[in-house]
Structure 1
């Protein structure tokens, strides 16, 4: 009997949540596809119709998390919001979605970091949908005169998708109260971005090469949080953003 798309979606989500729970309890290596299937009360062969391996299942988790975060973000009223506020709300929605699974996200993040080509590629889970939304935001801000004309919106949206994964890495290392350092990071980095867009400076930076900027961005996000926040404060002041 054929299952409906709705039932397939429910099973897809059930498998992912079961894997999250099991891997959080006993680790990635100790969890098997057969165990996940049985915990989800599915046939051993059924799980492979959705995910051919545990690695694909982990990628599926991030794909679903980004989809959920984007759906929540679209439902949130944003009338009168600036570009910076809308981008910050988008990233806040993502972190809020990941919060309940933070221990698993740390485990999964380590797996992704073992595949550097994936982290720099188009196949990053959730990247396509995230890019689409950000590119639309940039176009709207451009049309409203909030930022200078930007012919590189597609490339910039891709960089921001990579940046979202950098933010996740920073958040996982954040031990400040209520993740205050992460909130400060988002505020400062997005303020720098919008100021650069308003002055047209970001166009010149993107002309230098998106790949180089992307790799350096991901490298920056692995550095000590305090040093990175200080760097962003200086950048905001240099772009005319005033005192932090």
Structure 2
């Protein structure tokens, strides 16, 4: 019997949620694929049609939270009228709110996935892509409404904001302040600095300066090489003349 995509999606989410609950209760190492399947009322073999391992479930959990956050901000009335800083701030907060019920598990998830995030493995790529696509959309909209000047949105900037987000998440996991006010203050501070940099066009200026210095250095090296080659030829011809 063929299972519909809608049913597959529900089963996938159920397996993710069940796995997270069991890992919080019993720990990652003591939770087995069979236990996850039986608790979710899925066949022992069927679970492998969705996930080949527990680690893949952890990755799927993070991706699911990212996708849920994107869907939630898309449903916010008049979200497109928000300023860039408010859009990014709301996006970050929405992701953290999604993690809140499983905050204890997030520490485990990050330990499992941290190295892959650093090396940009195939597991982290879909998650990063969801985030970067959303940030790029924010930046493009801000440029169109002339809130900020043109930015290198297709290169380093979205990845820079991704790194900022990762730092904020790690800080949030250890934040014991009431209503996570310290995390909110950190976001306000970091995003305020980022907006100042973007509005001044400093990132593009730095890239332009870097490009100029690179071209200047390359030009100087080529000239030095040519001068050396020419002088060598002159010396050779001079010796032949002697």
User: Normalised by the size of structure 1, how large is the TM-score?
Assistant: 0.80
Equivalents in 2 of 1:206, 1:109: separation in Å?
32
SS of 2:41's equivalent in the other structure is coil
- Tell me whether 1:164 sits opposite 2:165 in the alignment: yes
Equivalents in 2 of 1:60, 1:17: separation in Å?
10
| Equivalence map 1:210-229=2 (5 Å) | none
CA deviation map 1:201-232 (0-9, x unaligned)? 122456769xxxxxxxxxxxxxxxxxxxxxxx
Any conservation in 1 of the 2:136–2:153 contact (CA below 8 Å)?
no
CA deviation map 1:6-48 (0-9, x unaligned)? 0000000000000000000010001010110111111111111
* Shift in alpha-carbon separation, 1:201–1:96, aligned structure 2, 3 A: same
Q: Which residue of 1 aligns with 2:46?
A: 46
Provide structure 1 residue ranges, at least 5 long, that are not aligned to the other structure: 210-244
Q: Which residue of 2 aligns with 1:118?
A: 117
Displacement, 1:93? Answer: 0.5
Q: Which residue of 2 aligns with 1:88?
A: 89
Q: CA-atom RMSD, angstroms?
A: 1.8
- Tell me whether 1:28 sits opposite 2:44 in the alignment: no
* Shift in alpha-carbon separation, 1:206–1:101, aligned structure 2, 3 A: farther
Any conservation in 2 of the 1:24–1:104 contact (CA below 8 Å)?
yes
Equivalents in 2 of 1:11, 1:101: separation in Å?
19
User: Normalised by the size of structure 2, how large is the TM-score?
Assistant: 0.80
Misfit runs of 4+, over 3 Å: 204-209
CA deviation map 1:91-119 (0-9, x unaligned)? 11100111011111121112123x2x433
SS of 1:101's equivalent in the other structure is helix
Equivalents in 1 of 2:72, 2:207: separation in Å?
30
SS of 2:81's equivalent in the other structure is coil
Equivalents in 1 of 2:204, 2:156: separation in Å?
10
Q: Give the number of the structure whose residues are more often helix, by fraction.
A: 2
| Equivalence map 1:148-227=2 (5 Å) | 148-205=149-206
Provide structure 2 residue ranges, at least 5 long, that are not aligned to the other structure: 212-242
- Tell me whether 1:10 sits opposite 2:1 in the alignment: no
Any conservation in 1 of the 2:139–2:153 contact (CA below 8 Å)?
no
Q: 53-62 vs 158-167, which deviates more? A: 158-167
